[in-house]
Amino acid sequence: MKSEEAAVYMQSHCAGLPGTEDPRIAKAVRVAEKDPALKPELARLREQDGRNLAAVEQVMLPPAFLGKLAAGHAEAARPFSGKAFFAQPVVLAIIIGAVVLLGWGGVSLWNRSQDFPGKDSVMRMVEVNDEMTGMEMEPKKDSAAALDDWFFDKYGFEDYYLAPGFENYQTAGARLFKQDGQPVAQVAVPDHNMVFFSFKAEDFGLSLPNDQWRTFRDGDWVAAVVQHDDESFMVTFRGSGSDMDSLLQGLKK
């Protein structure tokens, strides 16, 4: 060990306190004891420490403090109240857990309230919109209601159904495709860039109270589906739930 290092490490040496030294400090002291430049400094340090240590060791713990500490046991054991209670990690963890559970439960309940039999099937129809290139449909400019005969003549499809209020929308194209082997009529409408779907409810397990709309979101799309006896109609477009509500309310007027 060099003298410079020894000069630093020996500062952590305190002669009056045995057993507090690191091997590096002990070595530094041995080096200093042999080093002519460090030896007087070490002696001064020891002398100063001796005086100061004696003064420090005169300080005693006030007897009342132990009593206060013992009394603190009762205080520490007292149940937490107010903010202190809620600041406890265990309590915080319970609160966070409860909030997450409630949130998850709330979302589950909301989802369940939005669910209906056959929803998965109609959602897959909505997803078909995203997979289309525009080439799949046959150009067909007519009123939506007029396509009833066209679907029957061209495909033999008898279950084309339009919810009241959608009959007069002008169409741009139409086609019949099969999902799970069951026919679905699909119609493109330039107004609002809407896409209509019409299908037989029982083919897709759809079961809704008659003439009651159910709205749901799927990605960018919003859809509203309605059943009338065994016929069903779904309208979809890119937008929000409130856009769909406005459209459906406009139909009632």
- Kindly write out the interface string for residues 142-171 of this chain, putting x where it contacts another protein by CB under 8 A and - elsewhere: ------------------------------
The number of residues making up the chain comes to: 253
Residue 155 token pair: 């495909």
| Main-chain phi, psi angles of 132, to 5 degrees | -85, 150
- Separation between Cα atoms, residue 133 and residue 167, nearest integer Å: 26
- Contacting range for another protein; rule: CB under 8 A; set: 29-37, 70-78, 116-124, 129-137: 70-78
- Contacting range for another protein; rule: CB under 8 A; set: 54-62, 100-108, 139-147, 179-187: 54-62
Site membership for another protein, residue 61 (CB under 8 A): yes
- Contacting range for another protein; rule: CB under 8 A; set: 55-63, 133-141, 187-195, 227-235: 55-63
- For another protein, the closer of residues 69 and 109 by Cβ is 69
Least Cβ distance, residue 243 to another protein (angstroms): 56
Q: How many CA atoms lie within 13 A of 28 on its CB side?
A: 19
Supply angle C-alpha 74, 79, 81, rounded to 5: 125
Shortest CA distance to 15 belongs to which of 40, 35, 44? 44
Give the residue carrying structure tokens 């998965």: 120
Give the residue carrying structure tokens 């041995």: 30
Least Cβ distance, residue 96 to another protein (angstroms): 21
The residues, ordered by sequence, that sit 6+ positions from 60 with a Cβ below 8 Å of its Cβ are none
Q: Quick one: which H or E segment has residue 228?
A: strand 221-228
Burial level of 168, CB count in 10 A (0-12/13-18/19+)? exposed
> Please, are residues 122 and 195 in contact by the beta-carbon 8 Å criterion?
no
Among 2, 36, 58, 139, binds another protein (CB under 8 A): 58
- For another protein, the closer of residues 48 and 170 by Cβ is 48
Among 30, 34, 39, 68, binds another protein (CB under 8 A): 68
- Kindly write out the interface string for residues 6-35 of this chain, putting x where it contacts another protein by CB under 8 A and - elsewhere: --xxxxxxx-xx-xxxx-xx----------
Among 3, 15, 49, 165, binds another protein (CB under 8 A): 49
Least Cβ distance, residue 34 to another protein (angstroms): 19
Binding site residues, another protein, CB under 8 A: 8-14, 16-17, 19-22, 24-25, 45, 48-49, 51-62, 65-66, 68-70, 72-73, 76
